[in-house]
C-alpha cells in the first residue's frame, strides 16, 4: 500500500495511515540543537517542529483526492495555516 496518496481509501483511513508513518518518522528524525548554548536567541527545536507540522499539512492536502479540491484551496488560504488535526476536522466537516 502506498501511504502518500489517498487512492481508494476514505479520508479517515488515509489520515490514519499518514499519522502512523509520521509517528515512525519522528523517531528517526534528529532535531538539531543550537550550538551556542544559552546565548542562542532562538530555539532550533521549536523552529524545526513548527516546520514539520507545516509539512504534514501540506503533505496531507497535496495527496488527497481531487474530490476535495475546494476545501484544499480554502485551507491553504488560511493564515496562519492550521495544524494537521484542525485540517482533518475541516475536511471531515466538508465531507458531511
Q: What is the extent of the structural domain holding 86?
A: 11-95
Does the pLDDT at position 57 exceed 60?
yes
43 assigned to some structural domain: yes
Structural domains of the chain, count: 1
4 assigned to some structural domain: no
80 assigned to some structural domain: yes
3 assigned to some structural domain: no
Residue 46's pLDDT band, with cuts at 50, 70 and 90, is: confident
**What rounded mean pLDDT belongs to the chain?**
84
Average pLDDT over residues 85-89: 95
Structure confidence at residue 49 (pLDDT): 82
Question: Which of 9, 11, 27 has its CA nearest to residue 84?
Answer: 11
Structure confidence at residue 76 (pLDDT): 94
Alpha-carbon span 86 to 17, nearest angstrom: 17
18 assigned to some structural domain: yes
2 assigned to some structural domain: no
Amino acid at each position: 500500500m502506498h501511504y502518500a496518496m489517498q487512492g481508494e481509501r476514505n479520508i479517515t483511513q488515509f489520515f490514519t495511515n499518514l499519522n502512523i508513518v509520521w509517528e515512525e518518522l519522528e523517531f528517526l528524525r534528529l532535531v538539531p540543537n543550537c550550538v551556542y548554548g544559552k546565548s542562542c536567541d532562538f530555539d532550533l527545536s521549536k523552529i524545526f517542529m513548527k516546520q514539520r507540522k507545516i509539512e504534514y499539512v501540506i503533505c496531507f492536502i497535496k495527496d488527497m483526492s481531487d474530490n476535495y479540491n475546494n476545501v484544499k484551496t480554502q485551507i491553504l488560504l488560511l493564515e496562519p495555516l492550521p495544524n494537521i488535526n484542525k485540517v482533518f476536522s475541516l475536511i471531515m466537516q466538508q465531507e458531511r
